[in-house]
Amino acid sequence: MPFLPENIFLKIISGELPSKKVYETDQILAFHDITPKAKTHILIIPKVELKTAKEVNLENTELFGQLFLAAKIIAEQEGLDGYKLHMNVDEAGGQVVPHVHLHLLSADYKSNL
């Protein structure tokens, strides 16, 4: 599936598009997915523009770690005992929005992995 023609997450970060926020720091924003694939489906994104996880490097590894820390905190907030974390990387990997994002999904999510 090809990338969307624009990065809608930048519009969510700026407040131009609404979202149902569940967590926010200076560097991270998390909100409910508008097309959930599980009872709980939350997207966790960095507030800086990074197109794919292929952009991880020594200078931004802490930011990527913050995505996973946010997932842990949100899962506790949401009362999830077990959960799944999923990240698609690039168009060939199924990524649709051209902005790094981590999916936090409740255990009822069924994937074909």
Q: Kindly list the catalytic residues.
A: 101
Residue 48's region, left for phi above 0, alpha for psi from -120 to 50, else beta, is beta
In angstroms, the CA 74 to CA 42 distance is 9
64: DSSP letter: H
